[in-house]
Amino acid sequence: MSKIKIIAATGCPTGIAHTFMAAEALKIAAKKLGVEIKVETHGQVGIENALTKEEIREADGVIIAADKDVNADRFIGKPVVDVPVAKGIRDAETLISTIIEGKAKVYKPSSKQQADTENEEASQSGASIGRSIYKHLMNGVSHMLPFVVGGGVLIALSFLFGIHSANPDHESFNPTAKLLKDVGGLGFQLMVPILAAYIAESIAKRPGLVAGFIGGMIASTGGAGFLGGIVAGFLAGYVIVLLSKLFSKMSKSLEGLKAIFLFPVLGILLTGALMTLFVEPMTVINEGMMSFLADFQNANPIILGLIVGTMSAFDMGGPINKAAYVTGTALLAEGNLYFMAGVSAACITPPLVTAFAVVLFKKYFNQSERNAGVVNFILGSTHITEGAIPFAAKNPIVVIPILMVASSVSAILTYTFNVQVPAPHGGFLVLPVVTGAFKWVLAILIGSLVGAVAYGYSRKFSAQNNQVPQSEKISA
């Protein structure tokens, strides 16, 4: 009997940790179940270990563990299991078993004519409408992040020469500072158009890209900001989907005309006209939200820190964590460097909690956990929250609340200290450009140690009462 062949594609919005953790979990589970598997990863550097047409054709089933577009229409006609990337980490064996047992649904487009432009109906893969919307949004966010990170750090570096060093009319003017600020500013200016373009691309493939970019430019130049970019992206995507339906009866010989002429011209026209109507009310909403959060940040740092910390640690890279993260990124692009500082602190804390816990309470952790804990010093310091997931997964009812408290402490102290962080990622690597760097590190260490002590004592209590969770007994 020939070995079952499974292929998989994994991807998360940031493309840093979840993507590769899911890939590794699937490989381990496949080896355990005696299945041959190849996993294609959609990370921040692009597609790695790409699947070939022959591999797709020969595969007995496909696993998509992703929160972004992974070009799923390649798998039409194959049995497909489509789940969030976090499920690929937690339930890899279950996903593979679904393929083995023949329970996976055959992946189909909603109609033959829409195969090239629409692949999002819930019935196609069991995905909910909400998850489809989330995947489209995260596809935009994942492509936008490098612009924000690169632009933000360059602008922050320009301030090292002096707060007014990029101004030619100021006595502290420095040409290098001006270059850094100008180039970094271009990265920030492209953030909203890129976000909108890749939301639309996720919905309507390449035809949506052009309309989305133009809609994003209108949102950006009109002051509608990040929220306007989201609206522009979805609007452009569904405009192209609508156009594809309207022109579905055209002769196949005119397919090229649709792609190169009709979709770009009509897509830009319709998206531009609609965004021109929406940009003013979206600008009012955007400015109101920024003002509210700024006032809230100054008046209630404790409540804000509690909210941000709880959201960031609840699912560690999942939708709730990303909601806080994306909000921080949006505010960062608007010039608010305080909010992101709290979000970053809250995201850095969970892995450091586990790292300090295995050091301070060494005898209550097995060798594999100690090794993972030490690695989490590196993951936490570089803003990779997902390093705490293996610890939380073993006893989520106890561990996740501890992590939420720890992250909240870090965020509250960060807001209280008025720390400013100019980049949405990088962790301690961006310390040279952090305003109040020592206070920021101190806030994170305090929150992490509070969590580590609580986590350590919970393990001690479990061990003393012989209440170690079954999953921990197995791993031990």
Cβ contacts of 291 within 8 Å, gap of 6 or more: none
Place of tokens 């989907």: 241
Specify whether 347 is catalytic. no
Rounded Cα–Cα distance for residues 407 and 350 (Å): 7
Rounded Cα–Cα distance for residues 372 and 300 (Å): 36
Nearest to 308 by CA among 345, 352, 273: 345
Helix (H) or strand (E) holding 274: helix 263-299
Q: What is the DSSP string of 150-192?
A: HHHHHHHHHGGG-TTTT-TTSTT--HHHHHHHHHHHHHHHTHH
Place of tokens 């692949």: 119
Cβ contacts of 305 within 8 Å, gap of 6 or more: 342, 346, 408, 409, 411, 412, 413, 414, 415, 416
User: Rounded to the nearest 5°, which phi and psi values hold at 101?
Assistant: -80, 0
Rounded Cα–Cα distance for residues 391 and 475 (Å): 11
Place of tokens 């509070």: 450
Beta strands in 305-447, from DSSP E residues, in sequence order: none
CB-based contacts of 394-400 (< 8 A; 24+ apart in sequence): 394/469, 394/471, 394/472, 394/475, 395/462, 395/469, 395/471, 395/472, 398/458, 399/455, 399/458, 400/313, 400/314
448-466 burial string, b = 16+ CB within 10 Å, else e?
A: bbbbbbbbbebbeebeeee
Active site residue: 8, 12, 157, 346, which one? 12
Active site residues: 12
